[in-house]
């Protein structure tokens, strides 16, 4: 046997101005996307903005339902809209932000496991790393690939390492 250690690298930004202009634009789009949140049950407004390889930005927001499991997270509404409308475009970067009654939460929004799995699928489909930006009021975290928020990805499409 051997014991192993996994290291995950990511960047903390303490203001959006520290980010590259393209990332600043994506964060602004995710904040804007929160306007589309339909969240009468949780009152938690989540916005997502996805940049495709050609620069197109697709927005998504959480959509809730009286029959709870029928709703969908912001990230998946953006990813599925992009997958459906731009099936040949790889995903480049996904930004996510959440607000409660007091505005954008201090801590960065953390995607649920199902959303991470969906990110992993599109990362594999696009054959390139999908970057993830988690936005909080006090801190913004950037991950260079989905693997960094979903280690040991279940990925039946993967035939050997692609990165």
Residue 48 vs 57, nearer CB to ligand THU: 48
Q: Distance (Å, rounded) from C-alpha 58 to C-alpha 31?
A: 13
- Of the residues 27, 29, 30, 39, which one makes contact with ligand THU according to CB under 6 A: 39
Instruction: State which of residues 24, 42, 107, 117 lies at the interface with ligand THU (CB under 6 A).
Output: 42
Sequence-distant (6+) residues with CB within 8 A of 21 are: none
Q: Annotated catalytic residue: which of 9, 64, 75, 114?
A: 75
Decide if residue 162 touches ligand THU (CB under 6 A). no
What whole-number distance in Å separates Cα of residue 147 and Cα of residue 139?
21
Q: Is 62 a binder of ligand THU (CB under 6 A)? A: yes
Among residues 23, 64, 147, 148, the one that binds ligand THU under rule CB under 6 A: 64
Degrees, nearest 5: CA angle 128-130-135: 165
- Using CB under 6 A, which of 75, 121, 147, 148 touches ligand THU? 75
91-100 and 131-135 strand pairing: parallel
**8 A C-beta contact, residue 78 and residue 32:** no
The window from 50-58, 71-79, 81-89, 148-156 that contacts ligand THU (CB under 6 A) reads: 71-79
The dihedral region occupied by 132, where left means phi > 0, alpha psi between -120 and 50, and beta the remainder, is: beta
Q: Give alpha helix (H) positions in 55-98.
A: 74-85
Q: Is 71 in the site for ligand THU (CB under 6 A)?
A: yes
Just list the catalytic residues: 75
State the residues that interact with ligand THU by CB under 6 A: 39, 42, 44, 46, 62, 64, 71, 73-75, 96, 109, 111-112, 115
């Amino acid at each position: 046997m051997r014991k192993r250690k996994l290291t995950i690298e990511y960047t903390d930004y303490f203001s959006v101005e520290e980010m590259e202009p393209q990332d600043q634009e994506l964060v602004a789009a995710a904040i804007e996307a929160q306007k589309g949140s339909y969240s009468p049950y949780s009152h938690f407004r989540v916005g997502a903005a996805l940049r495709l390889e050609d620069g197109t930005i697709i927005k998504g927001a959480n959509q809730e339902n009286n029959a709870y499991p029928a709703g969908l997270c912001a990230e998946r509404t953006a990813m599925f809209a992009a997958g459906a409308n731009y099936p040949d475009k790889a995903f480049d970067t996904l930004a996510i932000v959440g607000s409660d009654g007091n505005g954008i939460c201090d801590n960065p929004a953390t995607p649920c496991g199902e959303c991470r799995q969906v990110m992993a699928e599109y990362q594999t489909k696009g054959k390139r790393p999908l970057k993830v930006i988690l936005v909080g009021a006090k801190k913004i975290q950037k991950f260079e690939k989905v693997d960094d928020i979903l280690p040991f990805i279940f990925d039946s499409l993967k035939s050997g390492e692609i990165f």
